[in-house]
């Protein structure tokens, strides 16, 4: 029988982590995501599954604890909100360079600077265009439901280990704080050290006589070799782009107009397309689930049937650049955003759709 729970998004992340067999969580309190660590501490997973939970001295320490744990082939994660994730960028870059799996959850709040504790989606650039130094990419999942906060923890680790690449869940203060029904799964056992030794031959498991010592590093001083490292990474990224794109389409078959939105903005836009259709506007919703790899091809394929695309995001317009690239500017692409912690209403979105595109 299905087990249902009423949970906050942040709690669902914690619950998902415990139940899918995560080995370690290292985090630092910051609004609006502190419930992740609070829930973990309250649930005592170290007694249930042996999962390690530790409140670190900073986000810098958190991400480097994740780096250390990931080097062992363990499933380790952290979560934070925007200013904290900015602090983590160094460690994320190291993990990408050392090709380590791992999960970072960003429950985004308004910026720049200390900004506000209200929801925002202004960390898109930071997440999918780099953030830290060097040519690297993060597998980026954008949950729009509390259920997805739960489910995507497991999915993120699956993808992250498949490609030996860090993953990010780009959430926001709405999904983190809202309570919804969640169907939770059984407690899955954590990987044994023996399993890791067999399945993660790169991991630090203790050097045995049957193999040379393993080294996890992102350093390669010789330029020619460092270029080869980069070429290998780029090849991996192309493979991810070909294989792992995820998105959801709603009422798109007959759509003349399209709203593209992810996360909370997709929830708001879902209501907006219902309102717009009541007014006779044939509009559909395209929700990217992976922000990197971005579903460019799918949006491009749809553009032939469209008169225009409205992009809705709680930012000054970040993902809109990727949407414009996807459609090659063949049709009008407009952006509607509120930012700094203000959440747009569905009727505002409909008004923007009419003003900017339907006319």
Partner 1 sequence: MKREDIIKPENLVYRRTPVLTDNVMHYCPGCGHGLIHRLIAEVIEEMEIQDNTLAVAPVGCSVLAYNYFDVDCVEAAHGRAPALATAMKRLRPDQFVFTYQGDGDLAAIGTAETIHACNRGENIVMIFVNNGIYGMTGGQMAPTTLEGMKTSTSPYGRETDLMGNPLRITELLAQLPGTYYVTRQAVYTPALVRKCKKAIRTAFENQKLNKGTSFIEVVSNCNSGWKLTPVKSNEWLEENMLPKYPLGDIKVPEK
Q: Which of residues 275-314 bind partner 1 (CB under 8 A)?
A: none
Kindly give, in sequence order, each residue whose CB lies less than 8 Å from that of residue 209, ignoring residues fewer than 6 positions away.
none
* 74 sits near partner 1 (criterion: CB under 8 A): yes
- What is the SS3 assignment for 225? helix
E-strand stretches of 30-122: 52-55, 76-80, 102-108
* 57 sits near partner 1 (criterion: CB under 8 A): yes
Q: Name the DSSP letter for residue 169.
A: E
* 61 sits near partner 1 (criterion: CB under 8 A): yes
Closer residue to partner 1 (CB): 89 or 118 = 89
Q: Which of 72, 159, 182, 283 binds partner 1 (CB under 8 A)?
A: 72
Least gap, CB of 69 to partner 1 (angstroms):
4
Q: Which of 113, 192, 208, 304 binds partner 1 (CB under 8 A)?
A: 208
Kindly tell me the burial class for residue 248, based on how many C-beta atoms sit within 10 Å of its own C-beta (0-12, 13-18, 19 or more): middle
Picking from 120, 90, 91, the residue whose alpha carbon sits closest to that of residue 106 is 120
Q: Which of 66, 85, 142, 200 binds partner 1 (CB under 8 A)?
A: 66
* 119 sits near partner 1 (criterion: CB under 8 A): no
Least gap, CB of 14 to partner 1 (angstroms):
18
* 84 sits near partner 1 (criterion: CB under 8 A): no
The residue count for binding partner 1 (CB under 8 A) is: 39
Binding mask 140-179 toward partner 1 (x if CB under 8 A, else -) reads ----------------------------------------
* Cα gap 45→314, rounded to integer Å: 35
**Piece of 150-158, 177-185, 210-218, 326-334 that binds partner 1 (CB under 8 A):** 210-218
Paired tokens of 4: 């249902």
* 216 sits near partner 1 (criterion: CB under 8 A): yes
* 189 sits near partner 1 (criterion: CB under 8 A): no
Backbone φ and ψ of 272, nearest 5°: -65, -40
Kindly give, in sequence order, each residue whose CB lies less than 8 Å from that of residue 359, ignoring residues fewer than 6 positions away.
none
C-alpha distances in angstroms, 72 versus 65, 183, 215?
A: 11, 31, 11
Q: Which of 9, 27, 45, 91 binds partner 1 (CB under 8 A)?
A: 91
Distance from the first to the final alpha carbon of the chain: 51
Strands 179-184, 76-80: pairing is unpaired
**Which residues of the chain form contacts with partner 1 (CB under 8 A)?**
23-24, 26, 52, 54, 56-58, 60-62, 64-69, 71-72, 74, 76, 90-91, 94, 98, 193, 204-209, 213-219
């Amino acid at each position: 029988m299905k087990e249902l729970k009423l949970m906050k998004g942040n709690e669902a992340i914690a619950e998902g982590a415990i139940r899918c067999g995560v080995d370690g969580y290292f985090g630092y309190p910051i609004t609006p995501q502190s419930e992740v660590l609070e829930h973990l501490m309250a649930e005592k997973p170290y007694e249930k599954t042996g999962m390690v939970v530790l409140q670190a001295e900073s986000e810098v320490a958190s991400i480097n604890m994740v780096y250390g744990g990931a080097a062992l082939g363990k499933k380790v994660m952290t979560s934070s909100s925007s200013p904290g994730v900015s602090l983590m960028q160094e460690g994320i870059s190291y993990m990408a360079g050392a090709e380590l799996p791992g999960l970072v959850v960003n429950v985004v709040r308004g910026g720049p600077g200390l900004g506000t504790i209200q929801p925002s989606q202004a960390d898109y650039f930071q997440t999918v265009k780099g953030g830290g130094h060097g040519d690297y990419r993060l597998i980026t999942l954008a949950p729009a439901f509390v259920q997805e906060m739960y489910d995507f923890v497991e999915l993120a680790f699956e993808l992250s280990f498949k490609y030996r690449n860090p993953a990010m869940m780009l959430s926001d203060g709405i999904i983190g704080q809202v309570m919804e029904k969640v169907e939770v799964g059984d407690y899955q056992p954590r990987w044994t050290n023996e399993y890791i030794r067999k399945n993660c031959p790169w991991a630090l498991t203790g050097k045995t006589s049957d193999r040379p010592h393993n080294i996890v590093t992102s350093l390669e001083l010789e330029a020619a070799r460092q270029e080869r490292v980069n070429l290998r990474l780029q090849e991996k990224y192309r493979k991810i782009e070909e294989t792992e794109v995820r998105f959801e389409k709603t009422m798109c078959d007959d759509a003349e107009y399209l709203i593209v939105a992810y996360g909370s903005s997709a929830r708001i836009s879902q209501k907006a397309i219902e309102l717009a259709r009541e007014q006779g506007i044939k509009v559909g919703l395209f929700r990217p689930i992976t922000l990197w790899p971005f579903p460019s091809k799918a949006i491009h394929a749809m553009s032939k049937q469209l008169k225009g695309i409205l992009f809705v995001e709680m930012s000054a317009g970040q993902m809109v650049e990727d949407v414009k690239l996807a459609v090659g500017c063949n049709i009008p692409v407009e952006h509607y955003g509120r930012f700094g912690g203000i959440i747009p209403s569905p009727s505002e979105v409909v008004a923007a759709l009419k003003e900017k595109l339907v006319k």
